[in-house]
Amino acid sequence: MLRRKTAAIGLGGIGLLIFVAVAAPWIAPYEPAAQDLSNVLAPPAWDGGDWSYPLGTDALGRDVLSRMIYGARSSVLISACAMLIGATLGLLTGLVAGFFGRFVDTLIMRLGDIQLALPFILIAIVILGMMTERSPVHLIVVLGIPAWIVYARVVRARTLAEREQDYVRAAETIGARPLRRIFRYVLPQVRSVLPAIALIDLSHLVVMESTLSFLGFGLTSPHVSWGQILADGRQNMVVAPWLPVLPGIAIMLTVLCINLAVEGMRSRVEPRRRWWSTRWRRSGATRTTLDMATAASRPAVDELQAGPTPDDVLLDVRGLCVDFPTADGRVVQAVRGVSFTVGRGKILGIVGESGSGKSVTSYALLRLLSAPGRVSAGTAMFDGIDLLGVPERSMRRVRGRRIGMIFQNPVGSLNPVLTVGYQIVEAIRTNRDVDRDAAVELAEKVFRDVGFGDPPHIMKQYPFRLSGGQNQRVMIAMTMAIEPELLLADEPTTALDVTTQAQVLDQLRRVRDEHGTSIVIISHDIGLIGEIADEVVVMYAGEVCESGPTEQVLREPRHPYTQALLESVPRPEAGVTTELRSIPGELPDPTRESGGCPFALRCSSVMDLCHTHRPKPLTVGPAWSAACHLYSEDKAEVTQR
Amino acid sequence: MLLYTIRRTAQMLVVVLCVVTLVFLLLRIAAGDPARLMNAPDAPDDVIEATRERLGLDEPIYIQYLYFLRDLLGGDLGQSFQGSYSVAQVVFAALPNTAMLAAVTVLVSTVIALALGIGAALTRGSWLDRSVQVYVAFAQSIPSFWLAVVLVLVFAVQLGWLPAVDFTGPSSFVLPVATMAVALTPILIRTIRQSFIETLQQDYIRAARARGIAQRKILLVHTLKVASLPLVTLIGLQSGMILAGSYVVENIFNWPGIGKLAVDALTSRNFPMVQGAVLIAAVTFVLVNFVVDMLYTTLDPRIRLKGAS
């Protein structure tokens, strides 16, 4: 909105300028060179001057207003023509280079490189400075030609990209002539980028032209230009300060209008945000209001869990909801009332397909959601600390020190311009009270623990010099060095090959066994979760659909989604004859609130009830629950209501 | 890396040769006959002919070019038309003054751009960000020569706070540097703001926060080290604009640098002086870009170590 308005102002200004330039002979009250020697250095009308010379006169008694109007004419004429020359040259060379490629391309682009490596502005000044007479044509040529390369590069890049498109290739195979291809297919593509470049070029040219005039190397008399008026005015600037000021304002407004127009073309409004603070809206009520209409005779898990957290539970998440407001005012509910607990020294697996809200859940727990994501409801108690409620300062002492995290993309989770050693030592010193030497020693020890043969060598490396598996081991080593009580591992093995995956899993197990660290491991791979986790939480579309002890859940899955997930992975113990199945359909639209079960559209056991009533988590065994109407005893009753 | 250095050095030498050739050719085309320029406009033909012979101008142009290169390699840029100075001496005396002005400008501009760009990036959409955007929009629209004149008008003529012209001490830097910084800062601020915003969205920043690293350290080490890299290249690219800016600023503030030298020489049509001043400025520009490129590759380990393993 704002941008559109500024763009309109910019374009309006440019339009006005062009009008003044074209209409100069009719709207200027005097000839630009006409002198009135009886009225030298007359002040402008607002400064005691009279209205016959609204902007006053200069040292030779020439009307400043008329000279400004004719100055606009030169400025527009020269800049526009120079721009057209540069753009035409650039367009042609760019098309030729991009379309014919090979040595033509190399030649043209090398030429461009050399030209960009030259300070062409200086050379332009000198060429013009050495001439005794300078007409608009001279300026247009000298200023216009050097800009070709800017256009040529963009056009060439677009042409190259366009050449690879199927329809252009198709045209090529049916024998369309090269020239025809250029005009039919490439030009329309290029047209969308050129206006912005041309406008930027134009604003440079306006400034260049007036700068040259100011230095005395621009248009010679009888031509008039803004820079010239300014340079003349400078001689008398003490007695007539308006003389140098007026043309400067004209140039500035011109350039400003052009820039506004460019800005308007370029971008939309950015939302207001601070990077570190995700806004926290705490909702006092835990998420028990999901769907009050669903009544079940079995006790709902929510009710069972209400009350204080037992001592053997390290992390207790209840009713966590995460929203991402979108630009168009809708809200993506990425996580919808997720509850789970992690026991001390236990490994919890969270499984679900991509987009099910697993990673968002882990980010939310450490309050690392990227803006505009926010926690809209729920609690997360970690060893007596309200993770979603404590101030940011206390949260910083939790991150790293008490809850560690490793990420899906190991290479991307380490800073590319800092050595691995710097980063692990920094992490150790931030979270443990040790001096540098002790930190280095500890880093080398944990590096050895995760299987690096030569820790000092690894410490000196940058992350991009190590493999994905090595980087992930670095991340795990950091955790081992800091010894947090809880480790959140978000798809720790996804980016790694199978052998490395097994190593990383082994190491995670060792972290738990040797340091007693509780682990939340997040994965889309239910097989992997089965291997390592004590308990499992199955997520679908931001909701927990089943949770319980891993062994039982994987042996006799209750929720149809869990069943489908298990059928979609190869299981050696089931024999080779079992057919792998994929789950038909896609995740529901996360911005839409449906009344029923999110999995209803893809479920093989779907009932009418599923489309209208949201299932609540129901106890299906010891510490085992599933959110599915199949286990609700009074389906009929609910349907009737 | 070594290979890159060799290739880049070779490329730089080619460009320097191109610059030299171009200056030689263009000046001869634009200026006409130097022999006529050297003498009074009404000098008789035989005097001009004698000058032409003395300067070797009667030789074919490629021979002249070779002489020119030979002299250049020996550090000889010819003699000034006015007075009998060696052009090389005059030019090299002026160069440090321009370099000093440029260095202070780049330093001041970088500090300002870092402060404003980072501030704006961290508070996107706030009053600070908006004010910075407005400053950028206006600053990039103000023509340097006009700003210089207005600054002189206000601070030197009307208020009398600062010297308008001539070098009288550190205060002489204020107005010229301010003028050039207003021209240079907008693009630096835009770049640093954008690059900071992009860097902050990287996974490794989130990972660093997850490790409990203090916010100040994340900004000043983890983010700045990555986000300021484009600034280095940009300053190299802008050195041409800075040189051109010195033409304007040095002339307005009477700064005894290479820009003022060139403009004075052009005005008095002192051909060898123009040639020398432009040549040295252009070669300096090429060298600065070369140094910046090499600096960039050593600053960014991703490039420095490429292919070394």
- B156, two tokens: 């030197």
Q: Given this model, what pLDDT does residue A288 score?
A: 28
The yes-or-no verdict on residue A506 having pLDDT over 60 is: yes
Separation of alpha carbons B233 and A97, rounded Å: 26
Query: A478 — contact with chain B (CB < 8 Å)?
Result: yes
pLDDT tier at B182, thresholds 50, 70, 90: very high
Which of B129, B180, B204 has the highest number of chain A CBs within 10 A, making it the mutation to test binding with A?
Answer: B204
Closest-approach residue (CA) in chain B for A274: B123
Closest-approach residue (CA) in chain B for A256: B141
Query: A27 — contact with chain B (CB < 8 Å)?
Result: no
Q: Given this model, what pLDDT does residue A294 score?
A: 30
Chain B residues with beta carbon closer than 8 angstroms to that of A125: 244, 247, 262, 266
The verdict on a CB contact (< 8 Å) between B213 and A427 is yes
Query: B248 — contact with chain A (CB < 8 Å)?
Result: yes
Separation of alpha carbons B241 and B237, rounded Å: 8
Neighbours of A236 (CB within 10 A): 15
Under a CB-based contact definition with an 8 Å cutoff, are residues A286 and A379 in contact? Answer: yes
Q: Phi first, then psi: give them for residue A411, nearest 5 degrees.
A: -65, -40
- List Cα–Cα distances, A77 to A80, A257, A535, A595, in angstroms: 5, 17, 76, 66
Amino acid occupying residue A449: D
The yes-or-no verdict on residue B174 having pLDDT over 60 is: yes
Query: B298 — contact with chain A (CB < 8 Å)?
Result: no
The yes-or-no verdict on residue B147 having pLDDT over 70 is: yes
Neighbours of A573 (CB within 10 A): 5
Among A335-344, A497-506, A528-537, name the one with the lowest average pLDDT.
Answer: A497-506
CB proximity under 8 Å: B 45-104 to A: none
ipTM above 0.90, yes or no: no
Closest partner CB to B222 (pick from A127, A274, A415): A415
pLDDT tier at A166, thresholds 50, 70, 90: low
Q: Given this model, what pLDDT does residue B189 score?
A: 93
The yes-or-no verdict on residue A329 having pLDDT over 80 is: no
Separation of alpha carbons B250 and B148, rounded Å: 10
The verdict on a CB contact (< 8 Å) between A462 and B124 is no
Beta-strand runs (E) in A502-575: 518-523, 535-540, 543-549
Closest C-alpha among A129, A143, A137 to residue A223: A137
- List Cα–Cα distances, B293 to A426, A444, A636, B98, B241, in angstroms: 30, 36, 76, 22, 17
Q: State the DSSP code for A631.
A: G
Average pLDDT over residues A229-234: 81
The yes-or-no verdict on residue A545 having pLDDT over 70 is: yes
Query: B138 — contact with chain A (CB < 8 Å)?
Result: yes
The yes-or-no verdict on residue A290 having pLDDT over 60 is: no
CB proximity under 8 Å: A 384-403 to B: 396-401
Question: What single string gives the DSSP state of each residue in A378-393?
Answer: EEEEETTEETTTS-HH
The verdict on a CB contact (< 8 Å) between A417 and B300 is yes
Q: Given this model, what pLDDT does residue A635 score?
A: 53
pLDDT tens, position by position, A570-620 = 665 555 555 666 777 766 776 666 677 888 878 878 888 888 888 888 888
Q: Given this model, what pLDDT does residue A306 score?
A: 56
Query: A141 — contact with chain B (CB < 8 Å)?
Result: no
Burial of A295 by CB count in 10 Å (0-12 exposed, 13-18 middle, 19+ buried)?
A: middle
Which of B14, B146, B270 has the highest number of chain A CBs within 10 A, making it the mutation to test binding with A?
Answer: B146
pLDDT tier at A326, thresholds 50, 70, 90: confident
Separation of alpha carbons A618 and A547, rounded Å: 10
Q: Tokens 């003022």 sit at which residue?
A: B260
Q: State the DSSP code for A47.
A: G
Neighbours of B103 (CB within 10 A): 13
Separation of alpha carbons A315 and A339, rounded Å: 10
Closest C-alpha among A627, A596, A597 to residue A612: A596
Separation of alpha carbons B19 and B29, rounded Å: 15
Rounded to 5°, angle at Cα A595 from A594 and A598: 60
The verdict on a CB contact (< 8 Å) between A123 and B23 is yes
Rg over alpha carbons for chain B, rounded to the nearest Å, is 24
Q: How far is B231 from chain A (nearest CA, A)?
A: 15
- B212, two tokens: 């409990």
Q: Given this model, what pLDDT does residue A556 score?
A: 86
Neighbours of B304 (CB within 10 A): 14
Closest partner CB to A207 (pick from B143, B210, B243): B143
Chain centroid to CA A552: 42
The yes-or-no verdict on residue B218 having pLDDT over 50 is: yes
Give the list of residues 6+ apart from residue A540 with CB closer than 8 angstroms, or none.
A352, A353, A356, A561, A587, A598, A599
Q: How far is B168 from chain A (nearest CA, A)?
A: 22
Average pLDDT over residues A389-407: 86
Chain A residues with beta carbon closer than 8 angstroms to that of B240: 119-122
The verdict on a CB contact (< 8 Å) between A251 and B153 is no
Average pLDDT over residues A44-56: 72
Q: Given this model, what pLDDT does residue B164 score?
A: 65
Which of A6, A79, A122 has the highest number of chain B CBs within 10 A, making it the mutation to test binding with B?
Answer: A122
Q: Given this model, what pLDDT does residue B185 score?
A: 92
Query: B294 — contact with chain A (CB < 8 Å)?
Result: no
Closest C-alpha among B270, B257, B258 to residue B83: B270
Burial of A552 by CB count in 10 Å (0-12 exposed, 13-18 middle, 19+ buried)?
A: middle
Q: Given this model, what pLDDT does residue A354 score?
A: 77
pLDDT tens, position by position, A348-368 = 999 888 778 888 888 888 888
Chain centroid to CA A317: 30
More confident residue, A439 or A626: A439
Under a CB-based contact definition with an 8 Å cutoff, are residues B255 and B97 in contact? Answer: yes
Q: How far is A68 from chain B (nearest CA, A)?
A: 15
Average pLDDT over residues A454-468: 88
Q: Given this model, what pLDDT does residue A573 score?
A: 56
CB proximity under 8 Å: A 429-458 to B: 430-431
Q: Given this model, what pLDDT does residue A592 score?
A: 66
Separation of alpha carbons A149 and A154, rounded Å: 9
Closest-approach residue (CA) in chain A for B210: A399
Separation of alpha carbons A448 and A510, rounded Å: 14
* Mean predicted lDDT score pLDDT of chain A: 79
The yes-or-no verdict on residue A269 having pLDDT over 50 is: no
SS3 for A186-239, per residue?
Answer: HHHHHCCCHHHHHHHHHHHHHHHHHHHHHHCCCCCCCCCCHHHHHHHHHHCCCC
pLDDT tens, position by position, A86-137 = 999 998 888 888 777 778 888 888 788 777 777 677 778 878 887 777 888 8
Closest partner CB to B289 (pick from A117, A237, A399): A117
Chain B residues with beta carbon closer than 8 angstroms to that of A255: 140-143
Q: How far is A145 from chain B (nearest CA, A)?
A: 14
Q: Given this model, what pLDDT does residue B116 score?
A: 93
The yes-or-no verdict on residue B89 having pLDDT over 50 is: yes
Percent of chain A at pLDDT > 90 equals 4
Q: Given this model, what pLDDT does residue B131 score?
A: 92
Closest-approach residue (CA) in chain B for A262: B137
The yes-or-no verdict on residue A298 having pLDDT over 50 is: no
Angle between helices A120-130 and B271-299 (to 10 degrees): 170
The yes-or-no verdict on residue A285 having pLDDT over 80 is: no
Separation of alpha carbons A512 and A143, rounded Å: 70
CB proximity under 8 Å: A 200-229 to B: 203, 207, 210-211, 214-217, 227
Tell me the H-state helices in A49-193: 64-100, 102-116, 120-130, 136-144, 148-163, 166-173, 178-181, 187-190
CB proximity under 8 Å: B 163-202 to A: 200-202
Chain A residues with beta carbon closer than 8 angstroms to that of B300: 417
The yes-or-no verdict on residue B219 having pLDDT over 50 is: yes
More confident residue, B296 or B108: B108
Rg over alpha carbons for chain A, rounded to the nearest Å, is 36
pLDDT tier at A304, thresholds 50, 70, 90: very low
The yes-or-no verdict on residue A281 having pLDDT over 60 is: no
* Mean predicted lDDT score pLDDT of chain B: 83
CB proximity under 8 Å: A 106-125 to B: 114, 117-123, 125
Give the list of residues 6+ apart from residue B10 with CB closer than 8 angstroms, or none.
none
Closest C-alpha among B237, B36, B270, B243 to residue A124: B243
Average pLDDT over residues B190-210: 88
Helix (H, G, I), strand (E, B) or coil at B86: strand
CB-side neighbour CA atoms (13 Å) of A22 = 7
Number of Cβ pairs < 8 A linking chain A and chain B: 233
Amino acid occupying residue B275: Q
Separation of alpha carbons B202 and B195, rounded Å: 11
